[in-house]
Amino acid sequence: MVDPVAASRLQFAVTTVVHIIFPVMSMGLAPFLIYFTWKEIRTGEAIYERLRRFWVKIFAVSFVVGTVTGLVLEFEFGTNFAAFSTFAGELFGGPLATEGMMAFMLEATFLGIFLYGRERVSDAFYFLASIAVGLGTWLSAVWILIANSWMQTPRGYELVNEGGQEAIRLTDPMAAYLNPRFQYMFVHMQNSAVESVALFMAGVAAYFVYKHYVRGQEIDNPAFWLKTLKIAIVALVITAPLQVLHGDLYARHVYETQPQKFAAMEALWETDTYVPEYIIAFPTDLSHILDPRAKELFGIGIPGGASWLASGGNPQAEIQGLNSFETEAPPVAIVFWAFRIMVGLGFWFILLAFWAAFRWHRGDLVDDDLLHKAFMGSSLLGIVAVETGWIVTEVGRQPWLIQDVLLTESGVSPDLTGAEATFTLAGFVGGYALLLVLYTYVIRRIIKHGPPEIDDGSESVDAPTDAPPEAEVSVDD
Amino acid sequence: MIDLAGEPLFGLPLPAIWFGLVFFVLGMFLFLDGFDFGIGILFATREDDHEKETLLAAIGPFWDGNEVWLVVFGGALFAAFPSVYANLFSRYYLLMFAILAALGLRGLAPEMYEEREDEQWRRYWGYSFVVGSALTPFLLGMFAINWLTGVGGIVSIPGVLGGLAVVALTVADGAAFLGLKTRGSLRDDASRHGIRAVAAYVGLVALTLVAIYVTTPGLQSALLSVPVIGLVLLSVLLAVGYVVATRQGEYHAAFATVAGLVAALVGVIATAMFPMVDRAAGVSVAAGIVSTLPLNLMTIMMAFLLPIVLSYFGVLYSVFSGPIDAEASYG
């Protein structure tokens, strides 16, 4: 039996780590789908219709699973973190309700039209529907990140005592909602979603391009996959450098607003100047090898690197160590390594983007089999980077649930029993494993099935007027 | 500049309005996703694969949007009555996760069903679809009645009866929607099931109210109040209206009576509960409401967005109005 606090935290970790995959897919696909729809309508070229109809299937599955797993998170604030919800509901409930009304409703209703309504509405309306869906996914992120960023840099509130219970009282909504962290989080998250989807598209497309152009095998749609690869490369060339440049600003902001998290990212225990940026670090004592909070570290790093990063150019800058805080340090090793994986991947994606752009420029994009293999191997690494980024954000904030205001252990539902929490935790571990298997299975099938065939010659995208009912059922009618 | 932190906007009784709004949103969910659940349950009555596909096609463009009303219900309760949201959801901890599991199954099953055509796969996901569609309204009904009575455990006699009543209501809802969306034997059979379901609903509601009366002394006077009795009588009339309309093939009217039945049901629960919002914790609407500044902000947000959101649904339902499978009907 796990105690209710640990079980609730683990359960929230499991449910968010799984959930974030699906919004990344839908938020990242949204701009591509809008682009495909626009090009389809403007040019009438069949390839754009095929691009839209192929990728919208993946969008639809991601959206459904994202709805199912997202509702879980909304409920968990009440079920597992009732004390937090009571304490901070004033600030936290509003953005969640607004997300539902402003974003989710827009996305879900127009998705019905976007998926099933191509022949039922005009071109212009259909294009508007694609924008409504995309806007909905991105507005969702606005409100969810407002809620989350407020937990990182809480502003615009006061603490009040109501009948012996402390609670948050909203005093300045603008300061609270547009708290300092919000803009960093929003740019970083949205760009990473597009980047992750670009990597996924490139990986899938590279598989078919490699098969056809390098191995000389016959495939159904070589032109379709080459086009997909090129679009993905363009997106990657834009998003990959932006992500790292912006990440640098973000890290500095974390240093200024959450020094404890920054110290954990750098595994720095004692306040110091000339702090190196470790590339790797390990406990020197083997008995501490599994202790995430081990203090005696052996590391290889760039001298003054972390000081330089934190201060924006000064290698002598002083950085506060974990020992200077009154609260227990976050699980340092998790934060430290997650940060390194994320940053490492960020640089790898830049390399990949420019490598591909170079080959494309030289006109031998299809021939570079090593590049294709690199893309294939990297198809899910964007998601990995997002996951590790969120681990830095959320684990790095520990032991605080709301930075410097509420400890995580104080936020858990007071009446929750260990048995209940352990039971649902086990259910989620099993259920979500199954969910991921099914999701992967469906995505693989969609990819294997490939893009839909379209009657060539006819510029019209109208289906026959008396299409069989099956045609209306499936997304790819 | 209006002082948003000082007084409720325009001196309106915002706590009571938000109490009503939370139930309105719950009602929207029960009515709209209700027909999805009902069609999911009626899915069990069909053998023919083409008919099953037709049922899935009937809810295809709608169910996702319908489900968002539950998201908004959670969000609105959280935003307007944070401690009630927290107490309620943690009190019925396992029930809430059971609802999520059932809803997840319902959402996933049609997606999976479509994925492959072999018989065993479809049989399994077909079952999942039916089970998810039946369990979700049952558990939601239990939740709503438990919330009203404030019972400590999850399983209570009024809760179970209320759950069954909501299941019956969703079947009637689904049947009425199929009246609009299908033709031929599919529609005729659905109508027969719908009529039985609405009769069962009236009986189950009566039993639920009796069970609440017997088990919860604190609610006896509320149950005998004029508005509650009026709403119950109205429900009987609406149920009769449902039967008449369905028999005459007036499916729009039948569908409208379901909307009335749902409104009456959430109306009964809300009226019996008021002025409390969480009887078990002894929290009244006035005590549980969020402080004035966020309350005013949320009110502005809702006043602005609710009409817009309703118009989205208007657009969605009009784009997909009419039968899904006209060719297959009698000609």
Give residue-wise pLDDT tens across range A281-310: 777 777 776 677 777 778 888 888 899 988
How much is the pLDDT for A163? 75
Give the separation between CA A253 and CA A247, rounded to whole angstroms.
10
Q: How confident is the model at residue A220 (pLDDT cuts 50, 70, 90)?
A: confident
pLDDT digits (tens, 9 = 90+) for B212-250: 999 999 999 999 999 999 999 999 999 999 999 999 999
Distance from the A150 Cα atom to the nearest Cα atom in chain B, whole angstroms: 15
Q: Rounded to whole angstroms, what are the CA distances from A461 to A44, A355, B3, B258? A: 8, 37, 55, 38
Which chain A residue's Cα is nearest to B323? A469
Instruction: Show residues of chain A in contact with B88, CB under 8 Å.
Output: 78
A101·B54 Cβ contact <8 A: no
| Alpha carbon distances (Å) from B167 to B57, B213, B234, B262, B298 | 21, 21, 20, 12, 32
Cβ atoms of residues B235 and B202 within 8 Å: yes
Question: Chain A, 50-69: which have a CB under 8 Å from a chain B CB?
Answer: 60-61, 63-65, 67-69
Using an 8 Å Cβ cutoff, are A170 and A221 in contact? no
Q: What is the pLDDT of residues A225-236, one digit of tens each?
A: 999 999 999 999
**Interchain contact B84–A (C-beta under 8 A):** no
**Contact assignment for B90 to A68 by CB distance below 8 Å:** no
In a domain, residue B170? The reply is: yes
Per-residue pLDDT for A464 more than 50?
no
pLDDT of the residue at B1? 54
- For the stretch A110-151, pLDDT in tens is 999 999 999 899 999 999 999 999 999 999 999 999 999 999
Is the pLDDT reported for residue A350 higher than 80?
A: yes
Residue A137 near chain B (CB below 8 Å): no
What are the tokens at A315? 């290698």
Which residues from chain A sit within 8 angstroms of residue B67, using beta carbons?
67, 71, 108
Residues 144-173 of A with CB under 8 A from B: 169-171, 173
Q: What is the pLDDT of residue A462?
A: 43
Check pLDDT > 90 for residue B285: yes
Task: DSSP letter for B88, please.
Answer: H
pLDDT at A228: 96
Determine what percent of chain A is predicted with pLDDT higher than 90: 79
Distance from chain centroid for Cα A137: 12
Which positions in chain A touch B291 (Cβ < 8 Å)? 90, 169-170
Name the domain count of chain B: 1
> Looking at CA atoms only, how far is residue B131 from chain A in angstroms?
16
Q: In this complex, is the C-beta atom of B91 within 8 Å of any C-beta atom belonging to chain A?
A: yes
Contact A94 B86 (CB under 8 A): no
pLDDT at A444 over 80: yes
pLDDT level of residue A208 (50, 70, 90 thresholds): very high
d(CA B264, CA B241): 14
Instruction: Please give the residue of chain B at the shortest CA–CA distance from A100.
Output: B72
Q: How many CB pairs under 8 A join A and B?
A: 236
CB contact under 8 Å between A473 and B53, yes or no, is yes
Test B64 with A108 for CB contact under 8 angstroms: yes
Is residue B26 a contact partner of residue B80, using CB atoms and an 8 Å limit?
A: no
pLDDT digits (tens, 9 = 90+) for A12-27: 999 999 999 999 999 9
* Residue A466 touches chain B, beta carbons under 8 Å: yes
Any A CB within 8 A of B287 CB:
no
3-state secondary structure of A5: helix
- What is the residue extent of each domain of chain A? 1-178+417-477
Give ∠ CA A400-A401-A406 in degrees, rounded to 5. Answer: 75
Chain B residue numbers touching A71 (CB-CB < 8 A): 67, 70-71, 74, 100, 103
Asked if residues A90 and A170 have their Cβ atoms less than 8 Å apart, the reply is yes
What mean pLDDT comes out for the span A61-90? 94
Query: Has residue A477 got a pLDDT over 50?
Result: no
Beta carbons within 10 angstroms of residue B291's beta carbon:
17
User: Which member of B56, B108, B291 has the closest CB to residue A473?
Assistant: B56
Other Cβ atoms less than 10 A from the Cβ of A18: the count is 21
Q: Do B78 and A93 touch (CB under 8 A)?
A: yes
pLDDT band at A393; cut points 50, 70, 90? very high
Mutate which: A64, A140, A150, vs B, most B CBs within 10 A: A64
Q: Is the pLDDT of residue A161 over 60?
A: yes
The confidence score (pLDDT) of residue B264 equals: 98
Amino acid at B36: D
| Residue where the block lists tokens 């906007």 | B9
Whether B320 is in a domain gets the answer no
- In this prediction, residue A283 carries a pLDDT of 78
Interchain CB contact of A93 with B (< 8 Å): yes
Residue B77 maps to which CATH number? 1.20.1630
pLDDT band at A455 (very low <50, low <70, confident <90, very high): low
Percent of chain A at pLDDT > 70 equals 94
Contacts with A420 from chain B: Cβ below 8 Å: 93-94
Where is pLDDT greater, at A457 or B36?
B36
- pLDDT for res B76: 97
| Residue of B64, B82, B93 with shortest CB distance to A86 | B82
Fill in the amino acid letter for A263. A
DSSP for residue A319: B
Write down the pLDDT at residue B9: 84
Whether A142 has its CB under 8 Å from any CB of chain B: the answer is: no
Q: Using CB atoms, pick whichever of B53, B72, B96 lies closest to residue A75.
A: B96
User: Least CB-CB distance to B290: which of A70, A90, A431?
Assistant: A90
Domain presence at residue B290: yes
**Domain limits for position B197:** 13-296
Q: Is B328's pLDDT higher than 70?
A: no
Q: Span A316-341, mean pLDDT?
A: 93
